[in-house]
Amino acid sequence: MTHLQTPRIHRFLRSPFATVFDNRLFRKAKLRSLPTEFAVARARATADRTDDVPEFCRQLDLPTPNGWRRRHLRRKLDAHAQRRIAYERTQEAWDAAFWTESPPPMDRRVTLENQRRERSESYRKPTLAFGRLARNVAPVQFDVPSPEDVFDEWASELEEPSSLYGAPQPAAVESSAMMAGPGTREYIVRFQSPSEHVDETAYARVYEPVAADETLPTLVFHSGLGMMNDSLSYWPEEEYIGRYLAPRGIRVIHIFSCSAALCYGMMPGPDTELVSG
């Protein structure tokens, strides 16, 4: 039977050859590159909001180019839009196959999952397409409210902290069709966020042993990168935690939607542990 595979990059990082990156020089170079990566990510996110060249430049505080530079940027924005359309179509096919009572055969489900991650990564991950722009783009667009505005906005929560920090009520949870993983069974759970401050659907990915039952101890893990995690071909926490612990008899719930940090409320019991990475 076809099943999801462990990415090659993970096998490489687990090999002795990966020690070439375990040094001070590599870490220093990586840290120095972070501002550029943030700037590229900001440019990519701006391209999600508009494909109009003048408006794109305005939002990034850049001068609007003319001549061949304008045409070059136009092609970049068009290419990004095409990657987004390809991803959205694949996501629609994935939703139709997994959120249904009659899912397609396992081979089709695995194929769709691989396609979803590949096209999502191509679309979402910062790329060199906006690399030249990053030299002139601020890594972060600061918009810091005044202390007075913050106190006014959160006055009721300051008066009653339990309204913000209290445990939520258990939510009605929906499970997707199952995917066969490398020694695991995997599926997505979703539910409406019970928080009045986060109006969205919460998502988490569940990893279980192939022969799972309701008595399994459960580990809930949140690494903090939000939806980006489950949208990448290689998600380190998936391999090092989810797919490592599940075959050893532990159910792992990887949160990848920010409001899903509330999902511990749906898994009460002495064998449930919440871990934030």
Each residue's pLDDT tens digit, 181-205: 999 999 999 988 877 777 778 888 9
Per-residue pLDDT, averaged over 146-154, amounts to 93
Contact between 155 and 230 under an 8 Å Cβ cutoff? The reply is no
Residues with Cβ within 8 Å of residue 259, at least 6 apart in sequence: 193, 195, 198, 200, 202
For the chain, give the number of residues.
277
Contact between 170 and 265 under an 8 Å Cβ cutoff? The reply is yes
- Residue 258: pLDDT band (50, 70, 90) is low
> What is the reported pLDDT for 128?
62
Residues with Cβ within 8 Å of residue 145, at least 6 apart in sequence: 153
Per-residue pLDDT, averaged over 199-215, amounts to 86
Per-residue pLDDT, averaged over 127-148, amounts to 82
DSSP-assigned letters across all residues of 145-175:
PPHHHHHHHTHHHHH-THHHHSPPPPPP-EE
Per-residue pLDDT for 241 more than 90? yes
> What is the reported pLDDT for 225?
55
Q: Is 34 helix (H, G, I), strand (E, B) or coil?
A: helix
Evaluated on CA atoms 106, 108, 114, 120, the torsion sign reads negative
Q: Are strands 201-208 and 218-222 parallel, antiparallel or unpaired?
A: unpaired
Per-residue pLDDT for 260 more than 50? no
- Measured CA to CA, the distance from residue 178 to residue 109 in angstroms comes to 8
The mean-pLDDT minimum among 16-20, 40-44, 69-73, 229-233 falls in 229-233
- Measured CA to CA, the distance from residue 205 to residue 4 in angstroms comes to 14
Q: Which is higher by pLDDT, 169 or 1? A: 169
For residue 239, give the DSSP letter: I
- Measured CA to CA, the distance from residue 258 to residue 35 in angstroms comes to 23
Each residue's pLDDT tens digit, 261-272: 444 333 433 344
> What is the reported pLDDT for 274?
41
Residues with Cβ within 8 Å of residue 35, at least 6 apart in sequence: 139
For residue 148, count CB atoms less than 10 angstroms from its CB and return exposed for 0-12, middle for 13-18, buried for 19 or more. Answer: exposed
Each residue's pLDDT tens digit, 82-112: 999 999 999 999 999 999 999 999 999 999 9
- Strand segments, DSSP code E, in the chain are 174-175, 179-180, 185-192, 201-208, 218-222, 251-255, 272-276
For the chain, the average pLDDT equals 85
> What is the reported pLDDT for 263?
41
> What is the reported pLDDT for 127?
65
